Amino acid sequence: MDFTHSLARRAAALTSALLLAAPAAAAETPGDGAPVPPLPGDPVLARLVEESLAARPELRQAGAAVAAERERIPQAGALPDPTLSLGIQNEGFGKLTIGEVDGSFYQVMLSQGLPWPGKRGLRTDVARLAAREAEAGVARARLAAEGDVRRAYLDLLLARDRLRLLSQLDVIWQRSAGLARARYEAGEGAQSDVLRAQLELNRLRQRRALLDASERTAVQTLNRLRARPLDERIETSSTVRTLGAPALPGAEAAVADALARSPELARARLSAERAERSAALARRERFPDLSVTAGVMPRGALDPMWLAGVSIGLPVWTGRKQGRAVAERLALAEGDSAGAEAIEQVLRLRVAERRAALEALLGNIALYRDGLLVQSQATVDSTLAQYRVGRVTFASVLEANAGFVADEDGYLTALADAQRLAIAGFELSLDPVGAAAAGIGGAAMPGAGAPAGMSGAPSSAPASSAAAPASGGASGGM
């Protein structure tokens, strides 16, 4: 029991050391390629990430795997256990003849196996490389844990921003409903205008319930990631707007950072190196191991006898065993090397994909910020003013409101999608862009004129849909 507790403490200490070392290793990336964690400057997020890293069982599991692999290193380089042989040789069954007959004696013999020179060092190298592969698993677990928290936190901010946008839309519809009622009572408007305004207000209440569910789901996800009660309240001070858009990284710097920090690439390269060392060990296995034997044979009153000897295996089946093992290890080494090359190619592709998608999103965000948002707000105000004096129909009010909410929500969605791409880039995800940034192209907030089945839940639509600006037509929604 004491040994088990000691091993558990060592695994926990190793996990903590590896987790503390991971940010330092990332900070060593030279030049302007040094990674900057997404959503910087948010103390709430920093606290959530810290609590998650301390609580995630996946990180403890990865740390325990490293501890186990490191325990194998001294085992791999150890000598075989010696063999102690005890015996007696006697003449006849009637009595002990030790001391009376020359051929009768006790026997104490010790044998020690000695691997061929170089084998122990190669076995140690193979075990050490396996431990370094496990350490790459800890780096991946940490990046995934941080990415999970950042994505869930972004989902929470987006849900709360959409709820605030819904409240803003509610105010607009209250104004619209008031104007429609005033014109109807004055005999200048149709009753259908009043009924449509009331219908949209009721739809807003329905959609608020869907967005409340999205907010609750994000809170529960964050609490699960930090081992807290699922419904524990999480207060936030940031918004998707205040987070803004991430900076577009330089193409060469982004690739260099990915190649330097990718746990999958590091693991694949270590696996290839381990396979090469295993092939070298297989070649050395062609040489036979030795066994040294020494013994003493007391004979009572007679002088004792002793023996010493060396035995060596005869590799007569090397063509079917050791030779085949070398070919096997060389094939594995070639496969692992090709696997590392494939991962590097995929990594370069993902970096380029994310950068291209982010560049498109940043252009989209600039269009929203510098034109569409201002124009949408002005259109709503102008349309309501003209409807008040009977110069436009209520259908124009519907269209203006729909365009306003579509543009406002499109702006929030584009900001969130850009941050998701930044999170996936820092996490060094090998998933395609549409999977790495699961919210890209997601459903917009239900708004005026939106189909009744739309909700505020995120979607996993392809990334290409995020690059197109949201329409200001009557079908816009959130």
pLDDT at site 199:
73
Q: Is the pLDDT of residue 2 over 60?
A: no
Nearest C-alpha neighbor of 447 from the set 386, 376, 381, 358: 376
C-beta separation of 329 from 279 below 8 A:
yes
pLDDT at site 375:
85
Q: What are the structural domain ranges in the chain? A: 2-467
More confident residue, 349 or 389: 349
More confident residue, 19 or 211: 211
User: What's the mean pLDDT in 65-89?
Assistant: 93
The whole-angstrom separation of Cα 363 and Cα 468 is 10
Assign domain 2-467 one CATH number from 2.60.40.420, 1.20.1600.10, 3.40.630.10, 3.20.20.10: 1.20.1600.10
Share of the chain above pLDDT 90, in %: 46
pLDDT at site 335:
92
Tell me the per-residue pLDDT of 220-264, one tens digit each, with 9 for 90 and over: 999 999 999 999 999 998 889 888 888 898 999 999 999 999 999
pLDDT at site 36:
60
Beta strands in 300-352, from DSSP E residues, in sequence order:
302-312
- For residue 65, what are the contacts with CB-CB under 8 A and spacing of at least 6? 134, 137, 138
pTM for the full predicted model: 0.75
Tokens standing for 279?
């092939």
Helix ranges (H only) for 226-315 are: 240-243, 251-261, 263-284
104-108, 109-113, 457-461, range with the lowest pLDDT: 457-461
Tell me the per-residue pLDDT of 390-414, one tens digit each, with 9 for 90 and over: 777 777 777 787 788 888 889 999 9
Confidence of residue 184 (pLDDT cuts 50, 70, 90): low
125-134, 289-298, 426-435, range with the lowest pLDDT: 426-435
CB neighbour burial string for 3-38, b if at least 16 within 10 angstroms, e if fewer: eeeeeeeebeebbeebbeebeeebeeeeeebebebb
